[in-house]
Structure 1
Amino acid sequence: MIIEEKLIVNSDKGNLLNELSRSILECERFYFSVAFINFSGLQLLLDSFKEAEKRGIKGKIITSTYLNFTEAKALRKIKDFEHIELKVFVTDKEIGFHTKAYIFEYVDHYKVFIGSSNLTQSALKSNIEWNVKIMTKEDTHFIKEVLSEYNHLWERSAEADEDFLKRYEDFLSKLTAITTKQNLIYENTDYIIPNRMQKRAMENLERLRSFGESKALVIAATGTGKTYMSAFDVKNFRPRRLLFIVHREEILKKAKETFEKLIVNEAKTFGLLTGNHKQKHPDYVFTTIQSLTRCYQEFRKDEFDYIIFDEAHHATSPSYEAVLNYFEPDFTLGMTATPERSDNHNVFALFDNNVAIEVRLHEALDDELIIPFHYFGITDIDGIDLSDVDIDNIAEVTKRLKVNERVDFIIENLNFYGNDGKKRKCLGFCASVDHAHYMAEEFNKRGYSSVALSGANSVDQRSYFIKRLENDEDELEVIFTVDIFNEGVDIPSVNSVLMLRPTNSPIVFIQQLGRGLRKHESKSFLTVLDFIGNHNKAFLIALALNGSRYYDKESLKVAIATDFANIPGCTHIQMDRISQERILEQIDNENFNSMKYLKEEYFEFKKMNQGHIPYLLLDYLMFDGAPDPIKFIQKEKTYLKFLSKVEKDDYLKGMLTDEAFERALKELSDMLPLKRIYEFVIIKDLMENETISFDRAKIEILKYVSEVYEDSVYHAFESLNHDYFDSVQKKSKLKLVDLENGILRKTVSFSNVLNNLEYRRFIEDIVNYGLFRYEKEFKNTDYGVPHFKLYEQYQMIDAALLSNYRKIHSSFRGSGLLTNGNDYFLFIDLHKEENIKESINYLDKLINESTFQWQTPNSTSQSSERGKNIIFNKARGIQLHLFLRKYKEIDGKVEPYIYIGKGDVFEYEGEKPITVQIELEHKLPGPLYTEFVVKV
């Protein structure tokens, strides 16, 4: 008798790995028969196998040598588990072996998965795979056949003993040597095509140039292909002469080779201008800033049509600025992994605040620009107590971490989880230089060749040990460090990272993680072991891993409870039960909206900013993992007000005594984060001009978006003119413009504010930050009218603005149903506060990913016009827009709604209220559905 049948596919709702992990721990015995086992897939099941061993659950695994895909190191790892028997079906030319079956025996039934997935990370997590799950009683014909066939294969397969493993390893190593030589074939440049990031960047660069812009910045994580992107763009641009400028000579030759590979048959010459090469006359010159500084005035100002600044965050230094100001190219491109700067200047301004693209860690994972990582959060040993220590007290933290028992625990886990690749190439991030030296010394004592490196070591010393680590034949396995994650160090073949210090900054955590994510032929994933202690900021790990700058307590808890199911691809994040519970408890006890928390977040960021006060909102774009400054604005109405409070800064307090300036800040800050770009584009133009016409506004807006709606431009003019403000809003905010005969003119008050250069700097910052963040979140996509993006966050009042509502906008609140013509906006709280008597008997809920049940306001009858418009919305041309939020408030702050798209009523019943079933136009993504329905 069949109990259950189900198709298992890898999607954002689940994957085969989850099914197998759960089944291993629930069953009495398990039996696998899979053609291929790679270490990438096996590592994801190691903890399940270990727990099964503790519980006395035994298993058998059959795999094969078919096509030589099974890895010998995976077989050796399975052999470490005494409760698992392992056999290998040795194939020949006549007989292949292609089974993918996972059988689980329970007390009175069996569960069987049969389909397409082998034991590899992609097959278990991300590939398009079909696997059928069948649960059936033990006495069925099907189960008898499956077990009979399994036993038959078991008898035909060879014992995976030491002799077999040695022979198989020798065979694979010889095979690797042969195939490596055979793979050295000519590469046709026509087949090198741009990846998704490169295409988006090139499209945006072309769009910016088409509107007369001559500078742009590209921000993308290390290893994502910025140099190739620039070469593709140069190929399209076809400059007569090119200048490519870098900070470090070692990457210059690679850049030149990339361009030579892509730009062929175009009669271009390529040359190096360095300390050893003085080639100034080739068409395309590749130079270091140090060499160029000595001779740039020998070139004409318009000598180069296209100039590229690699590592553009250095461009704020005097040597770079001199070069930047001297040359007059048609186009200048800046490229950087992070727009961090080493002084107090703004790199964005150098490139006219035009950011062609920004690709941070989680987007790079999504676009497969970097390798996936397998993160294991491991509870630190009991002997390490950091609960009562200030994490910034480095000496005390170091003292408490220097425990021999902890070293043994780290090595035990390092060996248990293993790594991809032939040799372990590991970076261990420590709390201090002293801690790094201690770890290296203790590892060496235990036979693991290690070294400690820090900023105190010379560049030559660091290069020497990095080359040793990268050499497969060298015995060096681990580099312990404090600051090797800083710009300027790149070790592509690193396959393991140890997090050995308490995390007190998501920024640092992401930087350290990023050191191992560059693609390299020797690895398919990065192993990350994080030893999580009991310090009171352990939850910051979750912030870093979650990958969203815009989070709330609830979404974070769901992410942790679901092992970060929202992370794309083969990346795997797993915390042990104690760490999970500890972090969830900390999140429950933390108020992310309290001034205390916001101050801690701010000062940690200031520390990353080299101690400089981050006066500008744009400063928060420098680092992946930086806090969201909108939270600071929402706390105090303007960022400068927040800054003046936390810094106790008299200079800022003095500026804010200027009423016009403070009201201008409030007017602009209240629009952040932008949901429509029109107003800020208009303001940006008015900062340079006294007036702006409707036609010029359209042209300026088209620089940012693919389509402009005339009525929305008129509405933006009216909104800026305060046509839809109530009396309180008019009083608290400065009127920046006057609307006369269809022309917007700067007010005298706003002109006076802008004439003060110090005030102007902060106004420009808000405008540029708003535009940049809009481009990042909405890109140049046309969302129509109403201007809603699926799964974006909105407040009720946003719907008034974005649907061109022509009455007082602040009236757009207080009801679950708001209307503007044929647009009906449903604002719904899924979980109502307890002990509060609602005027409505709520039955609002998600039935599934495609269906929502909603109750109209109590006064709505089926015979009323509003009732008919709702229940017959499709026939009557009424658009029902659904906005959901899980809770009305979290930590005392009103939560935004999430737009889940339009829907049509297909079923209804009842009177005052009417209960309707709505079919959603767009099926909810798995992670978002989970977040809405799961209560942690």
Structure 2
Amino acid sequence: MNSVEKKLIVNSEKGNLLRELVKSMTECQRFYFSVAFINFSGLQLLLDPLKEAEKKGIKGKIITSTYLNFTDAKALEKIREFQNVDLKVFVTDKEIGFHTKAYIFEYNDHYKVIIGSSNITQSALKSNIEWNVEIIAKENGRFIQDVLKEYDYLWHMSEDADEDFIARYEDFLKSFKSTQITHQMIYENKQYIVPNRMQKRATENLERLRSFGEKKALVIAATGTGKTYMSAFDVKDVKPKKLLFIVHREEILKKAKETFELLLPNERLTFGLLTGNHKQKHVDYVFATIQTISKCFYEFEKDEFDYLIIDEAHHATSPTYQTVLKYFEPKFTLGMTATPERSDGYNVFDLFDNNVALEVRLHEALEDELVIPFHYFGITDIEGIDLSDVDIDDITEITKRLKVNERVDFIIEKMDFYGHDGEKRKGLGFCVSIEHAQYMASEFNNRGYKSVCLTGADSSEIRERYINRLENDRDELEFIFTVDIFNEGVDIPSVNTVLMLRPTNSPIVFIQQLGRGLRKHKNKEFLTVLDFIGNHNKTFLIALALNGSRYYDKESLKVAIATGFANIPGCTHIQMDKISQERILAQIDKENFNSMKYLKEEYFEFKKLNQGRIPLLLMDYMKYDGAPDPVKFIDREKSYLQFVAKVEKDDELKGLLINDAFEGTVKELSSKLPLKRIYEFVIMRYLMGHEEINLEIAKRQILKMIHDVDDDSILHAFETLNQNYYDSVQLKNKPKLVHYSDGKLTKTAMYKGLLENEDYRQFIEDIINYGIFRYEKEFKAEYYGIPHFKLYEQYQMVDAALLSNYRKIHSSFRGSGLLTNGNDYFLFIDLHKEEDIKESINYNDKFIDERYFQWQTPNSTSQNTERGQNIIYNERRGINLHLFVRKYREIDGKNEPFIYIGKGNTVHFEGEKPITVQLKLENEIPSTLFTEFTKKV
């Protein structure tokens, strides 16, 4: 070791201060912290390392201060529980501020000192822009001596944080807060309420849809992400003379009206409520409950309202809504929902012409800070609970095994250890059955934690009463135990604790339950989630839910678990104890995600959530965050319908598929999923309702979806649909749906016939809508040029032919690791080779670091050939080298996709046949992806 080593620690996707502290606290011999303030939000993230240090006999000293009254009394109380830590507080006065942020770790023969800008708060440790310098130096050096001397001086200047001191400080904080509140409330200037990122994106997309004559759109975003504000921002832009806002429940209505009044103060508009108790019909903007408007809609003119908004739009498929919606003829209708479920077999997407202006799911909401961060602790359940041999659907048996007094004590012990944000604990406990929820409530009451059990059987009045009691800081009620009535629609913004007390059998339900606590609230910085993880064989589903990507493979999931879900944004923290981590990793290794057995389980679990109805349409999978990826079902059986017919043994569906033309058509369209460019399907969607389409109309339709498009790619899409680039086998086996001549595409007689049959039509339309909808979700409205590649998206080899407008047979794009189209060279690279393939032993393809990649050309390439010269002097010769990388060629018997990491330029080369090339990447690879490619799990 040099006498001094230094490094800069910043919070980024590469790492953060928290990670450094956790590692150092459990490896050092002693630690000494001096920070200006400690919040409970930051301390909670350090509780486990503090506990581990205590177990190992590692002693520590912590100094904090009363500077600006930011330190939580609760955090001080918590630190005092650790036997191995001495705590002192530097009491500041007006003259002296206290600003230190230093973390000192003592080792056998050296010290590690981290000094910088971070206090102990969740954002300072994880997400703020912070600079901290880590210095490792010998004990006898001048620097370490100075640091220790200064620490010692502060230690003697500070007061012991004993019980008496903390009580005095807490009283002071309470009185301080009660005098502060009035000052904070006064300054609110309406002009400064600006849209957040989600609201901006939604209003831009709505504007684009309207500019192309669309009259309806749907916005899907989690509860509490600001949909009402978003609609008010849009109304502010559109300036309708008359507006009708319809909701399902009256309590939402008053809030909505207040939001609009707040954002539209100087527009000289009148606002009124139309409910059972208020009959303000003659105003500009009417806010109505569906119950009232459905009784008096005919009193208004059909075109009375220019703009119609339907909140909780998933209810809009019901007959009551339908009557009202069919009557009015507004210029524009906006639907908003958190869960676009189909009820009564109707599809919400269809109601809004399949125009989804925006969809925000959990990870995006965390990223855009639309919800609060959560601290998730995955805790291995007590040994006495064995679920390894129980069917996950055997609720009675699971209930019996979970009703154990010892488990209740364990849950309470963990709850008290991890604590919660804020003064009063406001908790939701999710149980496996009503019997389990009743048991938990009564056991908690026996132990002095005021609790109730609420289920679907309770009336809405009773629910409301208990929810209000839980939210009331002065009420004793701390917990509501429930089964699943809070999965959707019920809102308790101030919940600060969620207990997961049942085995997770669905990522969807897990995300919904988690979402119950993520509403923003003025007294809440974060949500504490305690998940008691048993040994049942579906534990790995938790990882699927937390990973946030619907399109996962085994490898990326294992890396996510091993790195503590480093890809999760902001201050959200996910921590699983060692046993749970190992258990989940072992399950993932054992599970084959592509086997029919697994796919069937996934399908039937989803069907259960679909109220037991067969999910006939691909669009059904778009309604839930955490739903399975139906393209996996398609890959298995060539079309989704065939998969469902097979697993359901459904004769009616099999009957539909007897028609060869129909079966061939759904296979042909399904084979394009998931779309990597949208043009072909936009053209096919237009042809659902029109006889023909030319290039000009196609361009106009495509521009409804994306910001820009080039003419050559539209022409290429026409040629592709005309099967110009199919080989002889494809031409023989695939039905021809359209015909291209004289600059126009027209439907073939066969395809036209299919579309005239309602049964066939709905399934064809569903595939097209799903393709477009999913494309919009993954690629947004960007234009990616030619070739049409998006960074870090997944691609197969043959995709490169389509996306670079290749005008020869596309199926020739396979086999070799280097394919070319003009000046575009596509490098397809496997990082791990199968050793038994002779040629691959020579290969030496690898990441040198996040910016440089080493690649070996095919064995036959020498430096003096045209191709060799193009590769080694690519920049000079105007050759684009596109890199596509995958870790393994196949996983679970299925070919893995490649990930596009952008273009690279040759900076060094050596050798012949093959040439070894060093490429500098134009885009530094994100560290989470770099870890995924290079980490062995």
TM-score bracket, normalised by the shorter chain, equals over 0.9
SS in 1 for 2:112: strand
* 2:42 matched residue in structure 1: 41
* 1:701 matched residue in structure 2: 702
Q: Hey, what's the Cα distance between the residues in 1 that align with 2:140 and 2:61?
A: 21
Aligned length: 936
Q: How does 1:812-827 map to 2 (within 5 A)?
A: 812-827=813-828
Q: How does 1:619-698 map to 2 (within 5 A)?
A: 619-698=620-699
Q: Hey, what's the Cα distance between the residues in 2 that align with 1:352 and 1:892?
A: 40
Q: TM-score, normalised by structure 1?
A: 0.99
* 1:850 matched residue in structure 2: 851
Q: How does 1:340-379 map to 2 (within 5 A)?
A: 340-379=341-380
Shift of 1:112: 0.7
Shift of 1:876: 0.2
* 1:71 matched residue in structure 2: 72
Q: Hey, what's the Cα distance between the residues in 2 that align with 1:175 and 1:733?
A: 75
Q: TM-score, normalised by structure 2?
A: 0.99
Shift of 1:421: 0.6
1:313-333 Cα deviation digits (max 9, x unpaired): 000100011111111000000
Q: Hey, what's the Cα distance between the residues in 1 that align with 2:831 and 2:364?
A: 30
* 1:327 matched residue in structure 2: 328
* 2:88 matched residue in structure 1: 87
Shift of 1:832: 1.2
| Range moving further from structure 2, 794-803 or 696-705 | 696-705
Q: Hey, what's the Cα distance between the residues in 1 that align with 2:846 and 2:337?
A: 45
Q: Hey, what's the Cα distance between the residues in 1 that align with 2:709 and 2:468?
A: 54
SS in 1 for 2:902: strand
* 1:569 matched residue in structure 2: 570
Shift of 1:839: 4.6
* 1:338 matched residue in structure 2: 339
Q: Hey, what's the Cα distance between the residues in 2 that align with 1:197 and 1:286?
A: 24
Unaligned runs of 5+ in 1: none
Q: Hey, what's the Cα distance between the residues in 2 that align with 1:795 and 1:488?
A: 40
Q: Hey, what's the Cα distance between the residues in 2 that align with 1:629 and 1:3?
A: 55
Q: How does 1:413-812 map to 2 (within 5 A)?
A: 413-812=414-813
Shift of 1:385: 0.5
* 1:865 matched residue in structure 2: 866
Contact 2:342 2:620 in 1 (8 A): no
SS in 2 for 1:488: coil
Contact 2:386 2:534 in 1 (8 A): yes
* 1:207 matched residue in structure 2: 208
Q: Hey, what's the Cα distance between the residues in 1 that align with 2:187 and 2:861?
A: 73
SS in 2 for 1:858: coil
Q: Hey, what's the Cα distance between the residues in 2 that align with 1:546 and 1:838?
A: 36
Shift of 1:741: 1.7
Shift of 1:138: 1.1
Contact 1:905 1:917 in 2 (8 A): yes
Q: Hey, what's the Cα distance between the residues in 1 that align with 2:912 and 2:701?
A: 50
* 1:882 matched residue in structure 2: 883
* 1:892 matched residue in structure 2: 893
Q: Hey, what's the Cα distance between the residues in 2 that align with 1:667 and 1:413?
A: 54
Among all aligned residue pairs of Structure 1 and Structure 2, give the percentage whose two residues are the same amino acid.
75
Report whether the alignment pairs 1:405 with 2:401.
no
Q: Hey, what's the Cα distance between the residues in 1 that align with 2:489 and 2:28?
A: 50
Q: Hey, what's the Cα distance between the residues in 1 that align with 2:792 and 2:321?
A: 42
* 1:931 matched residue in structure 2: 932
Q: Hey, what's the Cα distance between the residues in 1 that align with 2:666 and 2:813?
A: 24
SS in 1 for 2:713: helix
1:35-56 Cα deviation digits (max 9, x unpaired): 0100000000100000111111
Q: Hey, what's the Cα distance between the residues in 1 that align with 2:665 and 2:754?
A: 8
| Range moving further from structure 2, 662-671 or 602-611 | 662-671
Contact 2:833 2:840 in 1 (8 A): no
| Range moving further from structure 2, 455-464 or 489-498 | 455-464
Contact 2:834 2:840 in 1 (8 A): no
* 1:13 matched residue in structure 2: 14
Shift of 1:488: 3.1
Contact 1:840 1:858 in 2 (8 A): no
Contact 2:857 2:914 in 1 (8 A): yes
SS in 2 for 1:884: strand
Shift of 1:444: 0.6
Shift of 1:732: 2.5
* 1:227 matched residue in structure 2: 228
| Range moving further from structure 2, 730-739 or 397-406 | 730-739
Shift of 1:142: 0.6
Q: Hey, what's the Cα distance between the residues in 2 that align with 1:497 and 1:732?
A: 54
Shift of 1:835: 3.9
SS in 1 for 2:219: strand
1:198-219 Cα deviation digits (max 9, x unpaired): 0000000000000000000000
Contact 2:270 2:284 in 1 (8 A): yes
* 1:127 matched residue in structure 2: 128
Contact 1:492 1:516 in 2 (8 A): yes
Shift of 1:340: 1.5
Letter in 2 for 1:515: R
Q: Hey, what's the Cα distance between the residues in 2 that align with 1:282 and 1:483?
A: 40
Give the aligned CA root-mean-square deviation in angstroms: 0.8
Shift of 1:484: 2.9
Q: Hey, what's the Cα distance between the residues in 2 that align with 1:435 and 1:688?
A: 53
Shift of 1:342: 2.7
Shift of 1:840: 5.5
* 1:140 matched residue in structure 2: 141
Contact 1:2 1:134 in 2 (8 A): no
SS in 2 for 1:294: helix
Contact 2:835 2:841 in 1 (8 A): no
Q: Hey, what's the Cα distance between the residues in 2 that align with 1:178 and 1:737?
A: 73
Q: Hey, what's the Cα distance between the residues in 1 that align with 2:464 and 2:695?
A: 59
Q: Hey, what's the Cα distance between the residues in 2 that align with 1:12 and 1:729?
A: 45
SS in 2 for 1:114: strand
Q: Hey, what's the Cα distance between the residues in 2 that align with 1:550 and 1:181?
A: 49
* 2:108 matched residue in structure 1: 107
| Range moving further from structure 2, 318-327 or 567-576 | 318-327
Contact 1:34 1:98 in 2 (8 A): yes
SS in 1 for 2:316: helix
Shift of 1:728: 2.0
Q: Hey, what's the Cα distance between the residues in 1 that align with 2:901 and 2:862?
A: 26
SS in 2 for 1:687: helix
SS in 2 for 1:443: helix
* 1:217 matched residue in structure 2: 218
Q: How does 1:111-260 map to 2 (within 5 A)?
A: 111-260=112-261
Shift of 1:300: 1.0
SS in 2 for 1:295: helix
Letter in 1 for 2:53: A
* 2:287 matched residue in structure 1: 286
Shift of 1:836: 3.7
Shift of 1:726: 1.1
| Range moving further from structure 2, 727-736 or 77-86 | 727-736
SS in 2 for 1:838: helix
SS in 1 for 2:136: strand
Shift of 1:391: 1.4
* 1:832 matched residue in structure 2: 833
Contact 2:862 2:868 in 1 (8 A): yes
Q: Hey, what's the Cα distance between the residues in 2 that align with 1:288 and 1:374?
A: 37
Unaligned runs of 5+ in 2: none
Shift of 1:733: 1.9
Contact 2:886 2:897 in 1 (8 A): yes
Letter in 2 for 1:604: E
Q: Hey, what's the Cα distance between the residues in 2 that align with 1:269 and 1:348?
A: 32
1:138-181 Cα deviation digits (max 9, x unpaired): 11111111101001100100000011001000000001101112
Q: Hey, what's the Cα distance between the residues in 2 that align with 1:41 and 1:802?
A: 47
| Range moving further from structure 2, 483-492 or 189-198 | 483-492
